Amino acid sequence: MGHSPSTSFVIELDDTALADLYLISCGAYFPLVGFMNQSDYDAVLKSMHLKDGSVWSIPVVLPVLSEEANSIPIGSYVKLMQGDVEYGYMILQEFFVPDKAFEASSVYLTEDRAHPGVKKLFDRKEVYAAGPVWMSTRPASPFPYASFTPNEAREQFKQNGWKTIVGFQTRNPIHRAHEYIQKCAMETVDGLFLHPLVGETKSDDVPAAIRMESYDALLSRYYPPTRVLLGTFPASMRYAGPKEAVHHALVRRNYGCTHFIVGRDHAGVGDFYGTYDAQKIFASFTDNELGITPMFFDHSFYCKACGQMASIKTCPHEENDRMTLSGTKVREMLRQGIRPPGEFTRPEVADVLIQGMRENEGK
């Protein structure tokens, strides 16, 4: 956090850029110190590395209007604002015009605007501003009890005596399948950093406030309190599948995690990615290069014949023994006030979601 120098130049931040400003400034996006210049941007799109060779898989850019690009001189100090709040400033080093079609096909592996990440990319402003940034005002968190910077998270891990920590990314409520893979991972490490994304998501995703209440309900009853830390990741969701899985791993490394869970269709949306593409992409890197060890899990489910949670790696039974419900079916049940089976969702979680959806739809 620094004191902003006097300047008359202003760039207005959208919600994604404001979240990215905070994540750059607090070290979550290390080694980035600012919004990417064209040479880093091009290197990331072509090779999943910055020009200095560091692994980085997603562009972190500051879109501006072409009128702003024409009116702010290179080398200027620029205030970064949203509405009437100044959140930080940057030293403007460069403007460049991206090839958004190439960015879409590189990051999202599609140019189809039915993909929410691609739509957002094309909806954002047309020129990118680059340069180092400083934050002067930390954005308020709706969840201050779970709002940790990377340094604060590392301090918590240290106080807990954890040497090995597994990170878990989610933008959804936690069902029994998630719980199962988290607990499998917890058998081999000192602690779990449950780190849900609470920034911008699709309109049909469960709102962050309802999800946070569901995580609290689950953790208070089914997890040992000394082995789990709940934090929040205030980024916008990109829905970039494999590329975003790598991004999520790198960010959790910066928060102090030694391991990171990658499940089926991580950060995916619709049918844009193969079920395990987000796991296969990690073969492009060495563990040393990543600085974190990915842990891969297959699709898991409750098997009536096994009498427990299982995965295709552990269960020999037929499909009709396995309890699987689509997300659409679950949402439909919750909307009708019906708890999904306990083998699928913990009743305490279901009750929070039913109540939350009822209140949300009543607004």
Domains of the chain are 10-135 (3.10.400.10), 144-362 (3.40.50.620)
pLDDT in tens, 12-22: 999 999 999 99
Question: Which band of pLDDT confidence, cut at 50, 70 and 90, is reported for residue 142?
Answer: very high
The predicted structure's pLDDT at residue 78: 97
Least confident stretch, 34-43, 188-197, 352-361: 352-361
List, as own/partner pairs, every contact residues 68-72 make where C-beta atoms lie below 8 angstroms and the sequence separation is at least 24, other chains included. Answer: 68/11, 68/127, 68/129, 69/95, 69/127, 69/129, 72/9, 72/11, 72/129
d(CA 174, CA 196): 10
Annotated catalytic residues are: 171-172
The predicted structure's pLDDT at residue 1: 45
User: Are 88 and 77 a contacting pair, CB within 8 Å?
Assistant: no
Across 68-87, average pLDDT: 96
CA distance to 151, 192, 280, 297, per residue, from 263 (Å): 27, 15, 11, 5
Q: At what angle do helices 38-47 and 100-107 cross, to 10 degrees?
A: 40
* Amino acid in the structure at residue 138: R
Minimal CA–CA distance to 306: which of 296, 319, 317? 317
Query: Is 363 a residue whose pLDDT tops 70?
Result: no
- Parallel, antiparallel, or unpaired: how do β-strands 322-323 and 300-303 relate? antiparallel
The predicted structure's pLDDT at residue 151: 98
* Amino acid in the structure at residue 318: E
SS3 226: helix
The pLDDT mean for the chain works out to: 95
Both tokens of residue 227?
């082995």
Q: Which residues of 153-169 are buried (b: 16+ CB within 10 A; e: fewer)?
A: bbebbeeeebeebbbbb
d(CA 93, CA 344): 52
pLDDT in tens, 239-258: 999 999 999 999 999 999 99
Where do the H-state alpha helices sit in 79-167? 100-107, 116-123, 150-160
User: Are 219 and 361 a contacting pair, CB within 8 Å?
Assistant: no
HSE-up of 167 (CA within 13 Å, CB side)? 29
Number of helices (H) and strands (E) in the chain: give both, helices first: 13, 15
Please tell me what DSSP assigns to residue 85: E
